[in-house]
Structure 1
């Protein structure tokens, strides 16, 4: 290697691995150091609540690159290494032993941490969250040893774990404070589809219900959780509890360094932060999106997969812009779904359905007041994602009746 430039990537997930790949793909021949807090090679996270939890995929099948790849491409991958500080003036990061590492360009890919509400009993050893491979493996063991699971929260993680737990034969209760599952992500109309999906598979779904306490009992060795106390005073009994009430972006490192932050680390269309030598990608990046003309932060796999190519170009001084539409997917029981676009609560005027929601085979479209398509979701209908993207990016009004008519081609 001839270049002496030092690029440092803080993070150890999919985004960090893909950024290292992209730098080498762009012929960067300087030093690339990846600092990962986890002890495992970077891996993808969706299987943790899907295929891995169902016993269909092992870790090596969703590890991004084998160890040999990092050696072959001269990537200095340091596992089990948490960065404690960034000095933007000296252009260094501080490592756990107090030593520092110089950088010319820095990338932040620090991901998210599951939220833990301040409930009594939240720290009991059989109260779980899901973020890492270790968490997923623990849930697999739980499925083999327990008869019942109570889940706090009916978001994506809660629902996917519920589906896996029901598949393993556990009794499952979900308690959600909102009136429908996924209310913030999909709205009431499509939230009802997922409510019906889970109740039809035997889940005890408690909507519009607050959890006031995780109840415990003393075993003599520990206080173990044994259920939930709800806002109306009733209780739910369970062998274990999963708390799945969302995640918070790990922006403390950026904030302490004086970078501009809000709900995430603020970045422009090039994924550049308020510091011209630092980019941010993945869960933490709150981006000024050039196509949507707004700031968005998306905690989904597609961003971690695709943003690094733009971030790498930006680090190398090349022109690049991240303008992909948000995309995410889920698999629950016999339902497979893809969502493309962005329709936040209050953005859309109506949801148009093309197909049969009762059979869970349809495409839903979120339209604004001018009948422009903001987002589309295909449920057990395939090979339409590209057309949905075209409808969203075109920004042209559509005829809602034609959109709903399955005899009219998309």
Structure 2
């Protein structure tokens, strides 16, 4: 940077630090003056104020990172690679079982560990004012919730780990591990710094897939993936300024995002176009009948759905918009939008483990771990999206849902302390589309399996509110369950059914275990699903007729 620009930047920092306030006699004692600022880069181009602010933030973050890295101890007993849900819960559990432990979390993100699912749901639907800054939303109980698990004060600086007698958890951000050396039990950071460990957790999560033809470099400022907080903040700004956005992908996040963004900005004339090559939404998970429920919920919000549509080409137009050519049923059509969002699922970040010689399942695309979440190196564990572990009932399991990250993180943390326990939990997940459609899944919900659906007859007062349960089968044994607008302890019942591993002959009778006939208040239902409250005990046995259909045979099961 030229000497001239350094003086300009230095002057701006000084103005921001001491020259921006004026003492007055008004009720607001301090008032910030808006000072027009102009600076020029070395190439002569004008730098806008926002760019200057970004530059200063970037330089500050770089200096802070260097300072923190220099404070790192040479050895930390527990090192956790990743700053997501799995690492956070592993850290909590390590501290619970080993109260004087020293834990180091290494995160590639700038944010402290946070709850990821609200990025496609609650922050859009129930976000507080300036949600793109605060990352807060109003929960079903009416209380304000922050997606971050802890405030910054929870985490010790790395240099303080050895100063505290009873240890603690330290977090370094914007830092990547470039190498794991299992022989010498040390990791190398992206600045060359090495840290030795006793136990190591790999919880590197996943990275978004970018399918053809969206990954062209010239589309970089018009095509974005959707995965983290910075993506939410970017898309929030884009959605508030745009008239049309194309969301590509058939993941749960894609469907939720289409619904949520349309709900938030549809009144501002924003048009959301949801494109995917499959027949119906979330096809990898849902049977056709439930997939149609999702399609209807999204379409009712005003989202334009283009199913069975394959993108052929993407071009940036002279007016700044983007043209996408789609092929559907042998015919081509064009869609012109302001921006494109890719939510086509994630692939586990296994390269670090592979380079270290840790066994990886190339078919699943995940690190192989046993039922204790140990990898092929006994002192290295894996948790979250990156691991495929041995489930005693289902076999090798790979899940990319939030609860799975939480549970595997807890178990890995416990086992790293020597309090060894085998994995036995069947993880669950949820997808919410407003008040009309709440989906809760547990176990292996793979639509390629045989499925049997049992649904209650439509409620005369709320005919659009469908209620039922879908069973996913292997050799007539239930390995997964999907609940549609069924709340309360249904997921716990589902876990028990899966664990029992009995061969099922009467699915209608099995469906009686679930509260699919009892009408519930929407607000109560949300409270139960979010906070785990017990469901109402009374059941409405009068409406005991069910419609059940098998996906494989497409026949109706006799009503009871």
Q: Compute the TM-score of the two structures, normalised by the length of structure 2.
A: 0.68
Q: Is this contact kept in 1: 2:287–2:451, CA < 8 A?
A: no
Q: Give 2:493's aligned residue.
A: 387
Q: Is this contact kept in 2: 1:53–1:137, CA < 8 A?
A: no
Q: Deviations over 1:326-362 (max 9, x none)?
A: 2111122322221112132443243333454962331
Q: Is this contact kept in 2: 1:121–1:215, CA < 8 A?
A: no
CA distance 1:5–1:133, change in 2 (3 Å): closer
Structure 1 residue 364 corresponds to structure 2 residue 444: no
Work out the CA distance in 2 between the residues paired with 1:213 and 1:354: 44
Structure 1 residue 353 corresponds to structure 2 residue 460: no
Work out the CA distance in 2 between the residues paired with 1:217 and 1:112: 32
Q: Is this contact kept in 1: 2:452–2:507, CA < 8 A?
A: no
Q: Give 1:402's aligned residue.
A: 509
What are the within-5 Å matches in structure 2 for residues 223-242 of structure 1?
A: 224-231=320-327, 232-242=331-341
CA distance 1:23–1:404, change in 2 (3 Å): closer
Q: Is this contact kept in 2: 1:227–1:241, CA < 8 A?
A: no
CA distance 1:311–1:338, change in 2 (3 Å): same
Work out the CA distance in 2 between the residues paired with 1:75 and 1:344: 37
Q: Give 2:352's aligned residue.
A: 253
SS in 2 for 1:24: helix
Say which structure, 1 or 2, has more relative contact order (CA 8 Å, 6+ apart): 1
Q: CA deviation at 1:111?
A: 0.6
Unpaired stretches in structure 2, ≥5 consecutive residues: 1-74, 129-133, 137-145, 157-163, 518-540, 547-560
Q: Give 2:206's aligned residue.
A: 112
What are the within-5 Å matches in structure 2 for residues 209-228 of structure 1?
A: 209-218=309-318, 224-228=320-324
CA distance 1:13–1:367, change in 2 (3 Å): closer
SS in 2 for 1:211: strand
Q: CA deviation at 1:201?
A: 2.5
Q: CA deviation at 1:118?
A: 2.9
Unpaired stretches in structure 1, ≥5 consecutive residues: none
CA distance 1:208–1:21, change in 2 (3 Å): same
Structure 1 residue 199 corresponds to structure 2 residue 302: no
Q: Give 2:426's aligned residue.
A: 325
Select 1:162's aligned residue among 239, 243, 258: 258
SS in 1 for 2:273: strand
Q: Give 1:40's aligned residue.
A: 111
Q: Is this contact kept in 2: 1:53–1:139, CA < 8 A?
A: no
Q: CA deviation at 1:155?
A: 1.6
SS in 2 for 1:233: strand
Q: CA deviation at 1:44?
A: 1.1
Select 1:66's aligned residue among 121, 137, 151: 151
Q: CA deviation at 1:21?
A: 0.8
SS in 2 for 1:186: coil
CA distance 1:28–1:256, change in 2 (3 Å): farther
Structure 1 residue 27 corresponds to structure 2 residue 98: yes
Q: CA deviation at 1:369?
A: 6.7
Work out the CA distance in 2 between the residues paired with 1:225 and 1:269: 50
Larger CA Rg, structure 1 vs 2: 2
Moved more, 81-90 or 329-338: 329-338
Q: Deviations over 1:161-190 (max 9, x none)?
A: 111221111211111111111111123232
CA distance 1:244–1:225, change in 2 (3 Å): farther
Q: Deviations over 1:113-153 (max 9, x none)?
A: 11011315644212121111110011111221111111111
Q: CA deviation at 1:48?
A: 0.9
SS in 2 for 1:90: coil
SS in 2 for 1:183: coil
Q: Is this contact kept in 2: 1:11–1:111, CA < 8 A?
A: yes
Work out the CA distance in 2 between the residues paired with 1:225 and 1:111: 33
CA distance 1:9–1:369, change in 2 (3 Å): closer
Q: Deviations over 1:12-71 (max 9, x none)?
A: 011111111111011252431111111111111011111123352543611112222223
CA distance 1:356–1:281, change in 2 (3 Å): farther
Work out the CA distance in 1 between the residues paired with 2:87 and 2:271: 38
Q: Is this contact kept in 2: 1:228–1:237, CA < 8 A?
A: yes
Q: Is this contact kept in 2: 1:353–1:364, CA < 8 A?
A: yes
Q: CA deviation at 1:324?
A: 1.2
